[in-house]
Each structure stands twice: as structure tokens, then as C-alpha cells.
Amino acid sequence: MDNLSEALKKLKITSTDSTADSLEGCLDCLLQALAQNNTETSEKIQKSGVLQVFASLLMPQSSCTAKVANIIAEVARNEFMRNPCVDAGLIPPLVQLLNCKDQEVLLQTGRALGNICYDSHEGRNAVDHAGGAHIVVDHLRSLCSKTDPASEKLLTVFCGMLMNYSNENDTLQSQLINMGVIPTLVKLLGIHCQNAALTEMCLVAFGNLAELESSKEQFAYTNIAEELVKLFKKQIEHDKKEMIFEVLAPLAENDVIKLQLVEAGLVECLLEIVQKTVDSDKEDDIAELKTASDLMVLLLLGDESMQKLFEGGKGSVFQRVLSWIPSNSHQLQLAGALAIANFARNDGNCIHMVDNGIVQKLMDLLDRHVEDGNVTVQHAALSALRNLAIPVVNKAKMLSAGVAEAVLKFLRSEMPPVQFKLLGTLRMLIDAQAEAAEQLGKNVKLVERLVEWCEAKDHAGVMGESNRLLSALIRHSKSKDVIRTIVQSGGIKHLVTMATSEHVIMQNEALVALALIAALELEPLQKEVQSMAFLEVVSKLRSHENKTVAQQASLTEQRLAVES
């Protein structure tokens, strides 16, 4: 360490007028000390005030420049040295060095800037201020097609530098995107896919940028989907696959890229992973199974990608996903049910699936989760049934298959997401199905639970759906027995409240139900009408800005007036 102190003293004295040789010796001594104990040596360098001297040594024409940049890169590996490097004014001369032609100088300068930017707000600001990112992006462009080892090393360092520069910083990420870095990185990935270190850097950079909406539009104009799928097929190690997954997931949120990924053959890769990992209890395999099946569901959220994979219900992908539902893996049951819910986004698909027996599969799945069931699976299976019940022709088929009874088993659930989907499924099923509406409307347990949920103030969705189902039971059954059950369970006051809802559809549904109650008027209702100021609520709604609501209010008021 004595040598180090000597070298530091000498550097301070001789930096201005020394010969290159004596400087070289001092710098070598510093590098050697850093290699032996980086932290301790860095502390000494900081205390000695030599950092300020380095700024004057970073000359493009000096033979010592690469060594000085290397020393800065080494000390900046310590968090406590990054701000001092910025304060010593090292960033502007380092950025200037990015313009030189010497490869070793460029390499060490890229390392120094990358390390100073790592997790350092001040470092990034200084590099941004000095215009460093622009020069580095230009370098990436000009070096992109060179595959010699020295160029690939430089490309790896520059990618790493940009990554540290923009990590978790939306402003700087947007800046890089506007500089057009995305097409360059995608091209890099294609050309250098054999170089593991560079590929890894590209992937981390993509993961960094892919979270931003503006980046997805740019990615959609490149062949990123093809390159990532090609790369994915080559991977054996779990960690490498995981890295690619981390880029695929945010990119697959974009509908254009979803379709590109499907066309590039990602789905086949995902199905293969599922097949390989489904029976394994190894941690890595369980993680891969989850990621692959989640990504599969995400791809089905795009209308075009979903329809392409459905292939009129004949598609092999659709068939494979169906086979997940009876699986013993909760993860696959969940993904299978969510996939069906996603396929069930248009009438044609829904009709085909119901005609081909999907309803029984979903009911069997729900049956396995009645007692202490998995809430996410319950929610997903109910979502699928709700979507399948939307086309008119499916309702009677699903009712006769026993869907209403299967769904009612979950009335005891205390989970709002399950309650919400249960209510939605029943409401879809009884739409224009008078017999089913009457049967359910006379089910005291159901009606009492609905009245209870109409007061679930913490869960607006459940509250809204309960009100809508109460009203639907009356509207579709037009049955005195149903009205009597709802009156006796204390449901009428909720319909009156619903008539003042902020949602026009709900107001209208409530008014139609109230008008029916008035038309089929029964003695138990007289008191309700008087005591709850029905007329007051209804007459207010006559002047509603929505014509349909206003008209319905007038009709309801006439009915009530005639009766009272």
C-alpha cells in the first residue's frame, strides 16, 4: 500500500508536466491495487483528491487515456464513488472520448460511463447533459453488422451502458426510443444471436424498454417476434428462458405483436413447455409452467390472435387448451378456463363451444372447487360460463345442462370476485328465459343473498350486479310469486334506490321492474308503495336527460297512479 500512496502523491504533482512513462507507472500501480482490494483503494483515491486530476488526463491524444478510463470504471463499481466521479467533472471529458477511434479507449470509456450511471441519478443526468447517449446509439448503429470479437465486446459494453443509463427511468427510456435505438437493438439480436453475452445485454435492454407504451409501437415495426421465438427455441437453461419470457410478457400486451408472436410459432413452444413441465414438482418447472400458460392466455386477449388460434374450433391449439381443464394442476385449470373465457368473445365461437360440450367440462371443474376451492379457478370458470351464456341460442341449452344449479353452489362464497361472476352468469342465463327466471326468483335462499349483497357498499361491482339480477328476475319472469318472494325478503327498497343509480341502464331496468310490480300489484305492495315514496322517486326521473329513462318513468308513474 506504500506504493499506492507514493503513486497517488506523484500523480497529483506530476500530472501537469510529467512524461508519459512516469504516469504509466503510477496508473499501473493504481490498477494493481484496485485488483487486490477495490473498495479500500477506491476510498484512498477519493481522499487523495486524484479524481480531479483524472479529468485533465482524459485526453484523446494521450497514451495513458485508456488506463485512466479503466481506473474510473473500476472505482465506479463502488456506489460511494459514483457521485464523486460526477463532482470531479469526469463525465464531459469521458463523453468527448466516445468520439475517438481507438477501440481500447472506447471500451474503457463505455465501461466507466456505464458504471457511473448504475443506479445513480446524478450520473445519468450528467451523461444526459453531456449528450453521451446519442453518441453511443450512433456507435451501436455503425458497429451493428461487425462480428469480430473486438467489435462484439464493444457492442456488449455499449448496450450495458445504455441499459444502466435508462434503467427504470421513463424519461431517458423515451429519449432512447426517440433516438431509434429499438430497430438497432433488434437487428443486433438477429446478427449476434451466437454471442451469449451480447444477446443477454440486448434482452435486458428490451425488458427495460418494453414496459413503455411508445416502445411497443416501435417494436411492432421490427421482426422482434421472429427473433425472440427463434432465440427461445434454442434455449435449454431455465434462466435464459426466463429472461426471454420477461421481454415477451410486456410485448405481448400489444395486439399487433400478439399476432406476430402467434405467426412466429410462439404458441407451439409454449404448449411444448406445458407438456414437459406439467407433472414435475421441480421449482423451475413449476415457474415455467405458470409463465408459459399465463403467456398463452395473454396471447388470446387479442381478437385477431385469438381467432387465428381458434380456427373455427378445429384448431389444435384450442383442443390442447381444452385438455388443460380436467388437468390436476391448478395452474393449468386456471389457464384453461381463462383461455375458454377469451375464446368466448364472439357469438360464433360461443355457439360452437357450447355445441361441442365445453359446458360440462367447466361444470366438472367447478365441482372440484366447491369445498375449499381455489378462488382464482372458480372465478375463471364462472367468467367462461358467463361469456358462453351471452348468445341467445346458448341460454336454454346451458340451463338444461344444469348450469344455474352448478353456479348456485357458490352462493355461500365470501369472495367478491366470485360473487360478481356468479351474479353475472345468472343474469346472462335468465335473459328472456321466463321459466328459469321464475324458478330462480322463487328461490328464497338466492333472493335473500341478493338482498344482502345489495348492501355490499365495499364492493360496488357486487352491489350493482345484485341489484340488476333482482330487477332481471322480475322483468323476465313477470311472475307474482317472484315479486312476492322479493317483497318478503326486503328487496323492493333496493329497486327504488337502483332507479336513482348514476348508470342509465340500471335506472331503466329498475323502472321496468317497478312498473311490472305495479301492474301485477299485490296487497303486500300497497304499504311499500306508500311508505317508500315510490312516486316521488319516479316523478323526479320523468325529467331525466336520457329519453328512455324519462319515458319509462312516465309509464311507471301512470301504472302506480292507476293502482293507488
Phi, psi of 73 (to 5 degrees): -60, -40
Q: pLDDT digit string (tens) for 246-289?
A: 999 999 999 999 999 999 999 999 999 999 998 888 998 899 99
- Spatial contact of 154 and 110, defined as CB atoms under 8 Å apart: yes
- Spatial contact of 293 and 274, defined as CB atoms under 8 Å apart: yes
Question: Is residue 75 classed exposed, middle or buried when 0-12, 13-18 and 19+ CB atoms within 10 A define those classes?
Answer: buried
Closest to 179 measured CA to CA, from 129, 135, 121: 135
- Spatial contact of 350 and 392, defined as CB atoms under 8 Å apart: no
Residue 111's pLDDT is: 97
Share of the chain above pLDDT 70, in %: 93
Closest to 468 measured CA to CA, from 438, 442, 501: 501
Q: Which residue has the cell 414496459?
A: 211
Find the helix packing angle between 375-388 and 392-400, rounded to 10°: 130
Cell output for 189? 439480436
Cell output for 175? 429519449
The secondary structure element, H or E, covering residue 463 is helix 460-477
Q: pLDDT digit string (tens) for 44-93?
A: 988 888 888 888 888 888 888 999 999 999 999 999 999 999 999 999 99
List the chain pLDDT tens, one digit each, 564 residues. Answer: 468 877 877 777 665 555 666 788 888 888 999 999 999 999 998 888 888 888 888 888 888 899 999 999 999 999 999 999 999 999 999 999 999 999 999 999 999 999 999 999 999 999 999 999 999 999 999 999 999 999 999 999 999 999 999 998 999 999 999 999 999 999 999 999 889 999 999 999 898 898 888 888 899 999 999 999 999 998 888 888 899 999 999 999 999 999 999 999 999 999 999 999 988 889 988 999 999 999 999 999 888 989 988 988 888 888 899 999 999 889 999 999 999 999 999 999 999 999 999 999 999 999 999 877 889 999 999 999 999 999 999 999 999 999 999 999 999 888 999 999 999 999 999 998 899 999 999 999 999 999 999 887 888 889 889 989 988 998 899 888 998 898 888 888 787 778 777 787 887 787 778 778 777 765 676 666 565 666 667 667 777 777 777 777 777 777 666 655
Q: pLDDT digit string (tens) for 194-235?
A: 899 999 999 998 988 988 888 888 999 999 999 999 999 988
Residue 238's pLDDT is: 86
- Spatial contact of 296 and 338, defined as CB atoms under 8 Å apart: no
Phi, psi of 187 (to 5 degrees): -65, -40
Q: Residue 235 and residue 246: Cα distance in Å, rounded?
A: 14
Cell output for 180? 431509434
pTM for this one? 0.80
Q: Which residue has the cell 507514493?
A: 6
Q: Residue 181 and residue 50: Cα distance in Å, rounded?
A: 36
